[in-house]
Amino acid sequence: MVKVGIVGGTGYTGVELLRLLAQHPLAEVAVITSRSENGLKVEDLYPNLRGHYGDLAFSVPDTALLGSCDVVFFATPHGVAHGLAGELLAAGTRVIDLSADFRLKDADEWARWYGQPHGAPQLLPEAVYGLPEVNREQIRAARLVAAPGCYPTATQLGFLPLLENGLVDDSRLIADCKSGVSGAGRSAKIGSLLTETSESMMAYSVKGHRHLPEIIQGLGYAAGHAVGLTFVPHLTPMIRGIHATLYATLLDASVDLQALYEARYASEPFVDVMPAGSHPQTRSVRGANVCRIAVHRPQGSDQVVVLSVIDNLVKGASGQALQSMNIMFGLDERTGLNNVALMP
């Protein structure tokens, strides 16, 4: 049994970890933290967990207690893992961080985008970016995994086959992405109110979103050189889901894109390349650890349009983090992650 601790158990990614871990036969949650709900039983806050966690209750973060776990997930705002990860690693506990704290390799760039100094630059060299479709072998041996962001997951998985094979003009890529409101987390914000988000849709952070450097970093590794990307996120009136519409111009128009994508992801358990001409819906991945992709060439032109959908809380956060945990502990990668999406 893998003994699991979770820091930040009351938020949306925290409760999603609890939901997925309740179905995991080889892991048990031993410690779950919340400062605001200290002492409350998890099933009293989240009735969907009733019957799954017995008397497990939230407690305030305590590094000695967390350090008795095999692995600790951070489902916290950025900056929190910077302060605690080093101590846990020293205690022999592996760390999977769902926040952005260890995703960017350059501490100065992190500081520019996150508006505060990087709190643990000494840990960056060993942090492994937790995208199994790219870094599976490094994740296996990692002590510290940085789980990718939601937009970066959908965007990278959609673009990777094109960039790894040098098939497009990668100086002018476009990622037009839509997110559900749960992407903004559970804390109270006017912009997340039903009255603000329903019956409406808007772009935001067009001048630069924090996920831009993360996506550019990952796509740059895939291409083998720096790439250019315009990334525009949008907020849409749904609870879960990311829909990424990705555009690139082909350098070689003779390539069979469908065969390319099917071959790239043939052995990936959580990437589904749909039949040519498909239009994946976000609801087809709701609750499931899956990225569904369809690749198009409208009117046979040299323009590629890739459609990539995930559930931001599953393949975009907690499911992907659990996938990394399975890999780190030598388990079948699919353990606890086989649930089918909810339709409708």
In the block, which residue shows the tokens 């895939």?
A: 222
CA 198 to chain CA centroid, nearest Å: 24
235 binding partner (options ligand X2W, ligand NDP, none; Cβ < 5 to 8 Å by kind): ligand X2W
Among 86, 185, 220, 269, binds ligand NDP (CB under 6 A): 185
Q: What is the rounded distance in angstroms from the CA atom of residue 337 to the CA atom of residue 319?
A: 7
Instruction: Tell me, residue by residue from 82 to 101, as one string, x for binding to ligand NDP by CB under 6 A and - for no binding.
Output: ----------------xx--
Among 5, 11, 14, 183, binds ligand X2W (CB under 6 A): 183
Closest listed residue to residue 151, CA positions, set 203, 76, 82: 203
104 touches ligand X2W by CB under 6 A: no
* Shorter beta-carbon distance to ligand NDP: residue 61 or 336: 61
* Shorter beta-carbon distance to ligand NDP: residue 82 or 94: 82
Closest listed residue to residue 100, CA positions, set 113, 89, 88: 113
Chain length of the chain: 344
135 touches ligand NDP by CB under 6 A: no
Dihedral of alpha carbons 155, 159, 163, 164, sign: positive
Beta carbons within 8 Å of 93's beta carbon, 6+ residues apart: 5, 66, 67, 68, 69, 70, 71, 72
Q: What is the rounded distance in angstroms from the CA atom of residue 335 to the CA atom of residue 24?
A: 6
Q: Which of residues 18-57 bind ligand NDP (CB under 6 A)?
A: 34-37
Catalytic-role residue among 69, 150, 177, 291? 150
Q: Enter the tokens of residue 306.
A: 């890739």
User: In degrees, to the nearest 5, what angle opens at C-alpha 334 toward C-alphas 324 and 152?
Assistant: 45
* Shorter beta-carbon distance to ligand X2W: residue 100 or 134: 100
Stretch that binds ligand NDP, among 19-27, 295-303, 309-317, 330-338 (CB under 6 A): 309-317
Q: Which of residues 222-261 bind ligand NDP (CB under 6 A)?
A: none
Burial class (CB in 10 A: 0-12, 13-18, 19+), 7: buried
For residue 296, the minimal CB distance to ligand X2W (Å) is: 26
Where along the sequence are the contacts to ligand NDP (CB under 6 A)? 7-14, 34-37, 61, 75-78, 80, 98-99, 149-150, 182-183, 185-187, 312-313, 316-317
Query: Which residues of the shown chain bind ligand X2W in the complex (CB under 6 A)?
Result: 99-100, 149-150, 179, 183-184, 210-211, 233, 235
